[in-house]
Amino acid sequence: MLNHLRQFLLAEGFGRPSTRLLVAVSGGGDSLALLHMLYTFHAAGGPVPIVAHLDHGLRGAESAAEAAFVAATAAEWGLRAVIETANLPLGTTPAVARAARYAFLARTAIVEQVDAVLVAHQADDQAETVLMHLLRGAGPAGLRGMRPRVEWPEWAAPAIATRAVPRHGPPLLRPLLAVSRAALAAYCADHGLIPRQDPTNHNLRYIRSRIRHQILPQLATENPHINAALVRTARICAEDYDFIQQALAAQWPKLIAAQRRGLIAFDRAALRALHPALRRYALRRAIAELGAEEPSFAQIDAALHLVAGQAGSHMQLTPQIALVCDQETVTLRLPNAEPPAAPQIDAPVPLPDHGMVPLANGWHCVVQDHPPVHPDRWWLGLAQSFTGPLTLRPRRPGDRMRPAGAPGSRRLQDIFVDLHVPRALRDGWPLLVAADGQILWMAGLRVAAGVATSDPNQATMWIGIVAPATE
pLDDT in tens, 264-319: 999 999 999 999 999 999 999 999 899 888 888 899 999 999 999 887 788 999 99
Strand partners, 366: 356, 464
Prediction pTM value: 0.72
Count of other CB atoms within 10 angstroms of residue 369: 10
Report CA dihedral (184, 186, 191, 196) to the nearest 10 degrees: 60
3-state SS, residue 444: coil
Per-residue pLDDT tens digits for 203-233: 898 899 999 999 999 999 999 999 999 999 9
- Residue 251: pLDDT band by 50, 70, 90 thresholds? very high
Per-residue pLDDT tens digits for 398-407: 999 999 988 8
- CA dihedral sign of residues 104, 139, 237, 251: negative
Answer yes or no: is pLDDT of 469 > 70. no
Res 230: pLDDT? 96
Contact 230, 126 (CB under 8 A): yes
CA 35 – CA 175 distance, rounded (Å): 12
- Residue 471: pLDDT band by 50, 70, 90 thresholds? very low
Per-state percent for the chain, helix, strand, coil, to nearest 5: 40, 20, 40
Tell me how far CA of residue 356 lies from CA of 345, 367, 371, 380, 436, in angstroms. Answer: 15, 6, 15, 15, 23
- Residue 424: pLDDT band by 50, 70, 90 thresholds? confident
Mention every residue, 6+ apart, whose C-beta is less than 8 A from residue 416. Answer: 426, 429
Phi, psi of 424 (to 5 degrees): -65, -20
Tell me how far CA of residue 194 lies from CA of 1, 76, 120, 197, in angstroms. Answer: 18, 14, 16, 9
Strand partners, 313: 325
Contact 106, 160 (CB under 8 A): yes
Per-residue pLDDT tens digits for 322-370: 998 887 789 999 988 876 678 999 999 999 999 999 998 789 999 999 9
Mention every residue, 6+ apart, whose C-beta is less than 8 A from residue 33. Answer: 120, 184, 187, 188, 193
Domains and CATH numbers, the chain: 2-122+138-200 (3.40.50.620), 230-333 (1.20.59.20), 349-470 (no CATH)
Res 470: pLDDT? 42
Answer yes or no: is pLDDT of 151 > 90. yes
Residue 413: which of 431, 430, 395 has the closest Cα? 395
Start-to-end CA span in the chain (Å): 66
Q: Which secondary-structure segment (H or E) carries 355?
A: strand 355-358
CA 213 – CA 202 distance, rounded (Å): 8
